[in-house]
Amino acid sequence: MRQVKVGRDDRPKPAANERSGSRMRRISDIGAAVIGTGFIGTVHLEALRRIGVTVRGVLGSSPERGQARADVLGVRVAYPSLDDLLADDTVDVVHVTSPNDVHVEQSLAILRAGKHVVCEKPLAMTAEDSARLVVAAADSGLVNATNFNIRYYPLNQHAHELVAGGALGEVRLVTGRYFQDWLLHDTDWNWRLQPDRGGALRAVGDIGSHWLDLMTFVTGQRVAAVMAFFFVANYVVGFLAIFVLRRREPDLPRPYRAWGYPWTTVLALIVSLAFLAGAIAGDTRNSLFALLVLAASFPVYRLGRRLGWNQL
């Protein structure tokens, strides 16, 4: 991805509504453009229309793709390029729904043109790029936002109110899953599966960010750190425990026997070890820290057993 330097020349132009000398008072006065004409771009376009925002045009991955999608979606303008979109003074805000690797470059260009940005997550591929974007947005005085819509589901709003009102007491542990089925078929494929386009965060930056935002919204607590090591290690320990239990207590009753035991369990253990190795390779510093914590906790555990802490 081409690097974009943020400096004196990157200072934004006045926003479209400021250039006209008027202040927007109605949502129908807002003009929007959408970059990206795929699934999520279409979702943004439909949402804008439903709340009364005028969609001025779309920018596709190519002029041909953009025009074809504009015809299908009933949009009057398909911009040939980003420069053409930014030159449209009727556009006040641009929704960026393009692949992850171009988010920063496009968002910086939009801010420099004096237009607000609503960008799909992740805002950037790296923490360094996102920091540059934060500085540029703050200097511009414009909105640079991302959408986390799941927090607005009625059930999640209710959960937020329960926690805020103290109905659940102090929240100490939160666990959850985010299920999707779009990779169910062999033919399912898009740029998210390409590391150079989707980014090293992969599922965490794409759907995992939704889960993280939802948990911060429901609990009112901020995410301090993200680590995959313990999650994967938990599976490894679980499968190992099966073998240890069978060896130490072979006559223990078995209310349920896994199909194909012990070979299916061995396979699951091998796969878990492979994931654990991947977690360590992907985040070596934090993983080594986690190993250090585990190593230090074992003597404490042994001491607790001797002192009878397990009887408490």
Cα–Cα distance for residue pair 156/129, rounded to 1 Å: 31
In the block, tokens 């943020």 appear at 6
Cα–Cα distance for residue pair 309/312, rounded to 1 Å: 5
Q: Considering only CA atoms, which of 109, 77, 92 is closest in space to residue 2?
A: 109
pLDDT of residue 137: 94
What is the average pLDDT score of the chain? Answer: 84
Q: Which letter does DSSP use for residue 8 in this model?
A: G
Q: Cβ distance 16 to 114 under 8 Å?
A: yes
CATH number at residue 131: 3.40.50.720
pLDDT tens figures, 227-252: 666 667 777 777 788 778 878 888 88
| Structure-model confidence comparison of residues 25 and 153, the more confident one | 153
Q: pTM for this structure?
A: 0.69
Domain of residue 195: give its range.
150-219
Among 117, 146, 175, residue at a domain's last position: 146
Cα–Cα distance for residue pair 65/94, rounded to 1 Å: 19
pLDDT of residue 175: 85
End-to-end CA distance of the chain: 57
pLDDT of residue 1: 35
pLDDT tens figures, 253-301: 877 677 787 888 788 888 888 887 877 787 777 777 777 877 787 788 7
Domains of the chain: total: 3
Among 185, 219, 253, residue at a domain's last position: 219
pLDDT at 185 over 60: yes
pLDDT tens figures, 127-165: 899 999 999 999 999 999 998 999 999 999 999 999 999
